[in-house]
Structure 1
Amino acid sequence: MEISRSTYIYCLCACLNSCNLGYDIGIGTQAGRLIQDDLGLTRVQRELFVGSIDFWAMFGALSAQYVSDTYGRRKTFLVAATGFIFGVVITGIAQTYSVLMLGRMLVGLGVGVGLAIDPLYIAEISPAKHRGELVTWSEIALNVGIVLGFSMSIILAPIADGTEWRWMFFAGTIMPIVMIALVLKVMPESPRWLVSKGRETEAFEILQTIYPKGYDVDLVVHDMKEAYVRDRAVEHAAGWQIIWNPTPAFRRILLVGIGVAVAQQAVGIDSIQYYLLDVLEKSGINSEQKQNLLLIFLGMVKLLFIVVGGKLFDIKGRRPLLFISLIGMAIALLMISITFFIASSTSSGFIIFGLGMYLAAFSVGMGPGAWLVPAEVFPTSIRAKAMSLSAFLNRATATLMASTFLSTANAIGWGGFFLLLSIISLLVLGFLWIYLPETKGRSLEDMSTYFAEITGDNSILEAEVRISEARDPAVELSILKKSQRTTDREVI
């Protein structure tokens, strides 16, 4: 089944939020040093400034669950965009360190909410056959934002020193304002959320705009409702109980989904991106113009390979892409480490090549995969909660890495630091090799049963039997006839 025009539009709208997140990372790479010079920050204050956005994003991610489950996916986008607008304006006008950190707090809360909602929303409106490609759009958009952020130093070069970084943040109000307009005028609510609230008629109307004309949408609504009932049947209590006391299948799902999200930051991506200028300077490149051009070049490399990865996830599968990604990163980080240990006149060239290889390898697998896997393995009944927890722990790991990057590199040496990251990449590879099953082509409604079969979780399998026994035979016959007519049936 082809992707409908409406699905493309809705996914692109959601991706603008990711682009906004990436823009903040991009300008943060350069603004950190500019602010340090302008406001006279210490090295520790700069590290706290850089790491604070991830710290507050942890709490934004947790709050996303309540907003998303209670008020819907669309309103969650509004919350994220509003936090961004207030945050970047306060950061841009800050004259003291305390006001600066207040702005970062609001931006961080918006980042956390955005990270939790973007892949979730796209996964819930995407056909299973194309979900891998469409969910990776959010990572592509994030990197478009990073490149835009990297480019701001060149765009704003004519502006006087001391105000350049302020205009970088002020420009960050444009995308969230557009995002608010799109949510209010273009984006529909998630059909799955509507079904979970008993609003099948509204879900049916939205699904008709997503699927091709003539497609039997009744089948889609039926499977959504049935899967939700099945997942709720195995919950021990309301709220977070299924997270803290999961059945075997849910435990494996949580281990995989949350583990991949944490691993994405454990390999050092955000910390390296935030301090790329420092790495380039340590490699011997001192020209500000060369540094800015290299930032844009590395950003374009990362963006290019994310597009490649997005295309391959639905062709080659999740496991192969993630394994190739981690092996490539481990080799690249080892190359950078060795180059720092044996510093020579050609060191800068090898380090630039190693950074490009690292970013390319990350983008092929771990970049988009770290949000694709959680978005598709978590069942509807816990998806918002589990995505929030994944984003929380993802940002917690990012906070630890970003706020200790310079201190750790200075303590154990830059060669030692990149060697440590190489080892972590190999450990993550071992973890995914053992615990991650292949999920390519499976519908979201099938995930809990799939993991139940893998783990032998009788609670979910028995719930499936009870649901089957409770079905009306006449309804089942009708559904069977419809499914026979729809041979290319897919559940989004």
Structure 2
Amino acid sequence: MAGGKGEVSATSGLLFPLIESVEKPKRNRFSYVCATIASMSSVLLGYDIGVMSGATIYIQEDFKLSDVQVEILVGIVSFYATFGSAAAGRTSDMFGRRYTMALSAAFFFLGAILMGFAPNYGLLMAGRFVAGIGIGYSSLIASVYTTEVSPASARGFLSSFPELFLNVGILLGYVSNYAFSSLPLQLGWRFMLGIGFVPSVFLAVLVILVMPESPRWLVMQGRLGEAKQVLIRTSDSIEESFQRLDDIKAAVGISASCIDDVVDIPKQISHGSGVWKEFLYPTPAIRHILITAIGVHVFQEATGANAAVLYSPRIFEKAGISSSDQKLLATVAVGVVKTAFILVATVLFDRVGRRPLILMSLGGMAASLITLGVGLTIIERSQEESTWLVGLCVAMVLTDVAFFSMGIGPMCYVSSELFPLRLRAQGMSLGMVVNNVMSGTVSITFLSLYNAITIGGAFFLYAGIAIVGWVFFYVLFPETRGHNLEHVEKLFGNLLWKFSPKKYDDSFVDDVETTQNA
């Protein structure tokens, strides 16, 4: 397959030589619908992040909490989410991507209700635990399902949808904060948290009524007839759907000549058994994939993006904004910028590629974080208020989240394409566990960190991590744009791609595979 073209041109061009010369295949709309519904589960995580940034102001006052208790309340949900992420890989392999998504909505629904009615700090934490389980499930299944249902021609675009909807959720959380901030103290934050049950109900209804099961999961269960029908509905052409089915069958170990609608599949494949053995004793390619994918999750969170979002009202307060309304409005601006720039990323992932966007993202974040650290340090040490410094700090927060949303942010979800089919669900489960641990660590330590090394020092630290991340991805990350999911594994296992002048076409993939075998 030539780089940047759809799956049809890779192998079926020999079988259907006139297709591309006569007419370029049209984009499949139903795959966009499926990806949109799956990605809506990310709204649950986004809403929690956004709403807690403002709700904690009122919860702290209502329950008379210390800063440490606030840190725990905000950050603990990421640690709770590790339980959901750890279980979601196996659950989605055993029961399907679709039912796992409905389960995530059910957990978040119950968590939102518990938080909204919590009479004390202890029960509020219990609600955070239940919601965290749902967040863990949703963060994994959104990326896995979207990657598996998308045609290669739009996989980067559609795989970045979860990050888009996460940002929509954050924006909705900010809007909820502003909308309910005028209510009495004991009611306002309860409405902010409790209203979160609405998107979970909406998601569950759409999953049950509209969304089909993942075709790759259906093949893993031996349900070839059902998988073929889903692929026909989600591919750019009939020929592409046949080719995708043949590639998936080959990945599972089913002969391409098999025409049965139902076949017997070994339990270790259909239930994802034996995956951890392959992770513990990996081939060079799988080891490279694991390091790269885990690196995506580590650097996405360790660069402090969650701190900038969750604690944006406090950051703006440190920058010199004292009015609560102005702080919340500035926080809404963060949500708007994040959402706007993820829209840019959804377009560029399939046009520019993953690698250039990640490098640009981390480079831009490092520059903006350094500038933000300088501005906050000057403000903290100066005795006079300066409007231009306040404006600079606000602008750098917005710039930081903009660069984040254009690269490393959505790559968290796009990274599911790195794993081969047999390892994808549980590989992403491992990645999301790492992501949640890093997210929780950043969220739960931010206030203590800036009290220890100043708020400017905290952002200097995040900038340093962004620079390390830039070097990491420059050395280890190959371009995956335009490649069939079943071919991506062949790009890993060595660094020849980095020094080769060849384009990322099928001949290069074959060269890489030959080198690995040698």
TM-score by length of 2: 0.85
Picking from 35, 38, 41, the partner of 1:17 is 41
Q: Distance in 1 between matches of 2:238 and 2:218?
A: 22
1:487 — aligned with what?
A: none
Distance 1:305 1:216, change over 3 A: closer
Residues 445 and 453 of structure 1: CA distance in aligned 2, closer, same or farther (over 3 Å) = farther
How much has 1:93 moved relative to structure 2? 0.8
> 1: distance between equivalents of 2:495 and 2:458?
38
* 1:31 matches 2:55: yes
* 2:403 match: 361
Q: Matches of residues 326-345 of structure 1 in structure 2 within 5 Å?
A: 326-343=362-379, 345=386
Corresponding residue of 1:472: none
Aligned amino acid, residue 328 of structure 2: N
CA distance in structure 1 between the aligned counterparts of 2:250 and 2:490, rounded to whole angstroms? 12
Cα RMSD (Å): 2.4
Show the 5 A alignment for 1:365-404.
365-372=407-414, 374-404=415-445
Amino acid at match of 1:443: N
CA contact (8 A) 2:309 2:334 kept: no
1:411 aligned onto 2:435: no
The answer for the alignment partner of 2:325 in structure 1 is: 289
Structure 2 portions without partners, runs of 5+: 1-24, 255-264, 498-508
Counterparts of 1:211 and 1:409, CA distance in 2: 50
Cα distance in 2 for residues equivalent to 1:341 and 1:453: 43
1:448 shift after superposition: 1.9
Whether the 8 Å contact between 2:42 and 2:166 is mirrored in structure 1 is yes
Please state whether the residue corresponding to 1:145 is helix, strand or coil: helix
Partner of 1:271: 307
Aligned length: 461
Question: SS where residue 314 of structure 1 aligns?
Answer: coil
Q: Which runs of 4+ in 1 moved over 4 A?
A: 232-235, 452-458
Alignment partner of 1:57 is 2:81: yes
Q: How high is the sequence identity, in percent, across the aligned residues?
A: 36
1:68 aligned residue: 92
Aligned to 2:483: 442
Q: Is 1:425 the equivalent of 2:466?
A: yes
2:181 and 2:365 mapped to 1: Cα distance?
Answer: 33
Match of 1:325 among 353, 361, 365: 361
Greater displacement, 13-22 / 152-161: 152-161
Q: How does 1:106-117 map to 2 (within 5 A)?
A: 106-117=130-141
Structure 2 counterpart SS, 1:429: helix
> What CA distance in whole angstroms lies between the structure 2 residues aligned with 1:419 and 1:214?
53
Deviates more, 1:426-435 or 1:288-297: 288-297
SS in 1 for 2:421: coil
| Partner Cα separation in structure 2 for residue 281 and residue 83 of structure 1 | 34
State whether structure 2 residue 109 is matched by structure 1 residue 99. no
Aligned partner letter, 2:206: L
Tell me the residue number matched to 2:277.
241
Aligned partners of 1:261 and 1:371 also within 8 Å: no
1:184 Cα deviation from its structure 2 partner:
1.0
Mapped partners of 1:190, 1:89: distance in 2: 30
Tell me the distance in 2 between the aligned counterparts of 1:388 and 1:342. Answer: 42
Query: 1:433-476 CA distances to partner (integer Å, 9 max, x unpaired)?
Result: 11101111111100122325758999x959x99xxxxxxxxxxx
Deviations 1:122-178 (A, max 9, x none): 110111121111111111111111111101122224422221110112210011111
Which of 244, 256, 260 is the aligned partner of 2:292?
256
Say if 2:284 and 2:494, in contact at 8 Å, map to a contact too. Answer: no
In 2, distance between residues paired with 1:421 and 1:124?
33
Structure 1 distance, partners of 2:491, 2:373, is 41
Aligned counterpart, 1:191: 215
2:143 maps to 1:119: yes
Query: What runs of 5+ residues in structure 1 fail to find an aligned partner?
Result: 466-492
Q: Does the CA contact (< 8 Å) of 1:26 and 1:147 recur in 2?
A: yes
AA matched with 1:189: E
Q: 1:33 to 1:216 in 2, by over 3 A?
A: closer
**107-116 or 344-353, which moves further after superposition?**
344-353
Residue 8 of structure 1 aligns with an amino acid whose one-letter code is: Y
8 A contact 2:151–2:234 mirrored in 1: no
Shift, 1:328, TM fit: 0.5
**Structure 1's 461 and 315: CA in aligned 2 closer, same or farther, altered over 3 A?**
closer
Match of residue 158 from structure 2: 134
Q: Separation in 1 of the partners of 2:242 and 2:153?
A: 19
* Larger deviation, residues 142-151 vs 335-344: 335-344
Secondary structure at 1:285's aligned position in 2?
Answer: coil
Alpha-carbon distance, 1:3 to partner: 2.5
- Shift in Å, 1:320: 0.7
* AA matched with 1:348: V
Distance in 2, matches of 1:419 and 1:157, equals: 33
Q: Structure 2: how far apart are the matches of 1:214 and 1:54?
A: 42
Shift of residue 216 of structure 1?
A: 5.4
Change (3 A) 1:387 1:455: farther
Specify which of 336, 345, 351 is matched with residue 309 of structure 1: 345
Q: Which has the higher helix share?
A: 1
